[in-house]
Structure 1
Amino acid sequence: MRASSLATRLFLSATAWVVVILVITGFVLSSVYRNATERAFDRRLNLYLRTLVAEVATPDEPPDRQFQSLGEPLFELPLSGWYWQITRTDTEKGDTRASRSLWDKKLPKLDEHGAELTAAGVRLGYVEGPEGQTLRMVERPVDLGADGRYLVSVAGDATEIFDETRSFDYYLGGTFAALGIVLLLTTIFQVRFGLAPLKRISEAIADIRSGRAERLEGDFPVEIAPLARETNALIDANREIVERARTHVGNLAHAIKTPLSVIVNEASSHAADPFADKVLEQADVMRSQVAHHLERARIAARVTIVAAVTDVAPTVEALRRTMEKIHRDRGVIIEAKVDPNARFRGERQDLEEMVGNLVDNACKWAASRVFIEVLTERPAAPGAGPMLRIIVDDDGRGLSAAERAQVARRGQRLDESKPGSGLGLSIVIDLASLYGGNLTLGDAPTGGLRAELLLPAV
Structure 2
Amino acid sequence: MLSLRQRALIGGIASGALSVGVGTLVVFSYINTRVLDQFDGALQDRHTQLVVGLSATTDDPENLRQLVFDPAYSAPYSGRYWQVTDSAGTIYTSASLFDETIAEPRSTSDGTTVWNTTGPDSEAIRSVYQKITFEDGTEWGVTVAESRSELINERSAAQRNLLLVFGLVGLIGVASSLLLTSAIVGPLRKLRADVAHRWDQGDELVPADYPDEVSPLVEDLNKLLHRNREIVSGSRRQAADLAHALKTPATILRNELAALSDTGVDTEPAEEALTRIDAQLARSLARMRATNTGELTHSRTDLSNSVERLSRLFSAMAEREGKTLFSECEAGLCVRMDPQDIEEVIGNILDNALKWCRTSFQITARRADNGIELCVEDDGPGIPEDARLEVVRSGSRLDTSVKGTGLGLSISVELLAAYGGTLELRRSERFGGLACEVKISP
Structure 2 SS opposite 1:327: helix
Alignment of 1:45-444 (within 5 A): 45=43, 63-64=59-60, 73-74=69-70, 77-78=73-74, 79=76, 81-86=80-85, 95-101=89-95, 102-108=97-103, 124-130=114-120, 134-139=124-129, 153-158=143-148, 160-205=150-195, 207=197, 219-254=209-244, 286-340=277-331, 342-378=333-369, 386-401=370-385, 404=388, 408=392, 409-410=394-395, 412=397, 414-415=399-400, 417-418=402-403, 420-444=404-428
Task: Give distance in 1, aligned partners of 2:377 and 2:272.
Answer: 34
Shift of 1:200: 2.9
Which AA in structure 2 matches 1:391? C
Task: Note the alpha carbon deviations across 1:126-176, whole angstroms, 9 max, x for none.
Answer: 334327754212446899xxx999976442344553454345335434543
**Kept after mapping to 2: 8 A contact 1:55/1:66:** no
Structure 1, 123-132 or 315-324: larger mean CA deviation = 123-132
Task: Give distance in 2, aligned partners of 1:313 and 1:234.
Answer: 34
> Of the candidates 33, 36, 58, which is equivalent to residue 34 of structure 2?
36
Q: What TM-score does the superposition give when structure 1 sets the normalisation length? A: 0.73
Which AA in structure 2 matches 1:97? I
Structure 2 SS opposite 1:436: coil
Shift in alpha-carbon separation, 1:314–1:273, aligned structure 2, 3 A: closer
Task: Give distance in 1, aligned partners of 2:353 and 2:141.
Answer: 118
Q: What TM-score does the superposition give when structure 2 sets the normalisation length? A: 0.75
Which AA in structure 2 matches 1:106? T
Task: Give distance in 2, aligned partners of 1:84 and 1:338.
Answer: 106
Structure 2 SS opposite 1:441: strand
Which AA in structure 1 matches 2:73? L
Which AA in structure 1 matches 2:327? A
Task: Give distance in 2, aligned partners of 1:120 and 1:212.
Answer: 92
Task: Give distance in 2, aligned partners of 1:121 and 1:401.
Answer: 108
Task: Give distance in 1, aligned partners of 2:257 and 2:313.
Answer: 36
Shift in alpha-carbon separation, 1:315–1:7, aligned structure 2, 3 A: same
> Of the candidates 414, 435, 440, which is equivalent to residue 450 of structure 1?
435
Task: Note the alpha carbon deviations across 1:366-415, whole angstroms, 9 max, x for none.
Answer: 2332211224443xxxxxxx343321001233344577567544374734
Task: Give distance in 1, aligned partners of 2:32 and 2:389.
Answer: 88
Structure 1 SS opposite 2:191: helix
Task: Note the alpha carbon deviations across 1:75-115, whole angstroms, 9 max, x for none.
Answer: 99335613134387xxxxx834233344432113567xxxx
Task: Give distance in 2, aligned partners of 1:44 and 1:99.
Answer: 19
Structure 1, 165-174 or 446-455: larger mean CA deviation = 165-174
Task: Give distance in 2, aligned partners of 1:417 and 1:447.
Answer: 20
Structure 2 SS opposite 1:247: helix
Shift in alpha-carbon separation, 1:241–1:339, aligned structure 2, 3 A: same
Shift in alpha-carbon separation, 1:375–1:264, aligned structure 2, 3 A: closer
Structure 1 SS opposite 2:73: coil
Which AA in structure 2 matches 1:34? N
Which AA in structure 1 matches 2:210? F
Shift of 1:216: 5.2
**Kept after mapping to 2: 8 A contact 1:392/1:452:** yes
Structure 1 SS opposite 2:180: helix
Once superposed, what is the RMSD of the aligned Cα atoms?
A: 4.7
Which AA in structure 2 matches 1:37? V
Shift of 1:450: 1.4
Task: Give distance in 1, aligned partners of 2:351 and 2:157.
Answer: 89
Structure 1 SS opposite 2:145: strand
Unmatched 5+ stretches in structure 1: 89-93, 112-116, 379-385
Which AA in structure 1 matches 2:92? A
Count of residue correspondences: 428
Task: Give distance in 2, aligned partners of 1:62 and 1:38.
Answer: 32
Task: Give distance in 2, aligned partners of 1:204 and 1:106.
Answer: 84
**Kept after mapping to 2: 8 A contact 1:22/1:180:** yes
Shift in alpha-carbon separation, 1:254–1:440, aligned structure 2, 3 A: same
Task: Give distance in 2, aligned partners of 1:450 and 1:411.
Answer: 18
Shift in alpha-carbon separation, 1:110–1:208, aligned structure 2, 3 A: farther
Q: Quote the sequence identity (%).
A: 25
Shift in alpha-carbon separation, 1:75–1:353, aligned structure 2, 3 A: closer
Task: Give distance in 2, aligned partners of 1:323 and 1:178.
Answer: 73
Task: Give distance in 2, aligned partners of 1:314 and 1:35.
Answer: 84
Structure 1, 320-329 or 298-307: larger mean CA deviation = 298-307
Task: Give distance in 1, aligned partners of 2:436 and 2:352.
Answer: 10
Shift of 1:231: 3.5
Structure 1 SS opposite 2:101: coil
Shift of 1:346: 1.4
